[in-house]
Amino acid sequence: MKIAYPNTLAPTHLFFHKKNRDLLENGYEIINCDNIAALNLVKKNYYKIAKSFGINGDLKSISKLDEKKTNQIHLKFNKESKNVNLNLINAFYKSINKYLDNNIYLQRQPYLRLKKHNLKVAATVPHNDYDFGHASLGFNLWTPLFDIKNNVGIYIYSIQDSKKIYKEFKFDTHLQNHIKKLKNKIKRNYINLNYGQAILFSNLCVHGASIINKKINRVSTNIHLQSQNIPIGDKGSELFTLAYFQKNKKKYFIQGI
């Protein structure tokens, strides 16, 4: 079985402004923080939850965790983080507003990605978010809470390489096995970021995370969002709430549902 890859990354769409060449050509762009205070609130929330599990939350302290506690921290952050979704988009409000407009669908509960170097669960198999019911015109905002160096963050394939991956994929094997056959035709791009940077990428971009062989831990968070001017795919109000931008206050606010 072969499924046609959505041809949606065309410059005619409202959020593909002529200036954002990286987003148009690659399907992703590294963006810089506009409001570091908002991002610091996200990190403060993480520290608070980490301390409730007996660690101070810095990268070295993560080495003390086992897989069970790691998952418990994930769940508690995802369920109990107050206003983290708003703080994340307000930390990068200029880019969010530029690409997605004033009114957006915003994921209610952000995901925490706490990766301990010697746990196999630190790896994420290659995938795209479109295959999991997210809209083809939606985006993922992936934000590290500490600097990401030495290729221990996520990797991503450009939108053009992602199309190549799916062009001959027959859904008869794991996607990662199919990708291995194409390794000389496509490029895996590891994303190294400083605290205060994030990557905004299309739901159509294939991405994942490798096992961390070096003794380096990482902590990041990610959230899905998209313009209200496009359909939300298979995801509905169980995942998304509505947010709107107030230009005079330079921030987004929750609108409802």
**pLDDT tens column, 130-182:** 988 898 889 999 999 999 988 888 999 999 999 999 988 888 888 888 988 88
Task: Name the nearest CA neighbour of 200 among 10, 12, 37, 24.
Answer: 24
- Ramachandran class of 192: left when φ > 0, alpha when ψ lies in -120 to 50, beta otherwise: beta
Residue type, 253: F
Backbone φ, ψ for residue 242 (5° rounding)? -105, 140
- Give all domains of the chain, ordered by start, each with its CATH number: 22-256 (2.60.120.620)
Structure tokens at 162: 């992602």
The tens digit of pLDDT for each residue in 68-117 reads: 999 999 999 988 877 999 999 999 999 999 988 899 999 999 999 888 87
Q: Report the alpha-carbon distance of residue 21 to residue 28 in Å, rounded.
A: 10
| Residue 43 to residue 55: CA distance in whole angstroms | 14
Amino acid 145: pLDDT: 97
- Per-residue pLDDT band for 120 (boundaries 50, 70, 90) equals low
Indicate the average pLDDT of the chain: 86
**What confidence tier does 10 reach under pLDDT thresholds 50, 70, 90?**
very low
For 46-74, what is the mean pLDDT?
93
Give the whole-angstrom CA distance, residue 73 versus residue 211: 20
How many whole angstroms from its chain centre is CA 52? 25
- Using an 8 Å Cβ cutoff, are 186 and 161 in contact? yes
pTM for the whole structure: 0.89
Residue 9's pLDDT band (cuts 50, 70, 90): very low
Give dist(CA 71, CA 49) in Å, integer. 12
Name which of 6-20, 71-85, 206-220 the model is least confident about: 6-20
pLDDT band, very low/low/confident/very high, at 16 (cuts 50, 70, 90): very low
H helix or E strand, kind and range, residue 97: helix 93-100
CA distance 94 to 90: 8
Handedness of CA 124, 115, 76, 86 (dihedral sign): negative
What is the share, in percent, of the chain residues with pLDDT greater than 90?
A: 57
* Mean pLDDT of the 6-32 span: 62
Contact 242, 105 (CB under 8 A): yes
- Residue 72 Cα distances to 94, 100, 146, 223, angstroms: 33, 33, 20, 19
pLDDT at 121 over 60: no
Alpha helices by DSSP H, listed for 123-220, are 159-167, 175-180
Report yes or no: 24 and 98 within 8 Å, Cβ to Cβ: no
SS3 245: strand
Q: Give the count of beta carbons closer than 10 Å to the beta carbon of residue 87.
A: 24
Mean pLDDT of the region 234-242: 87
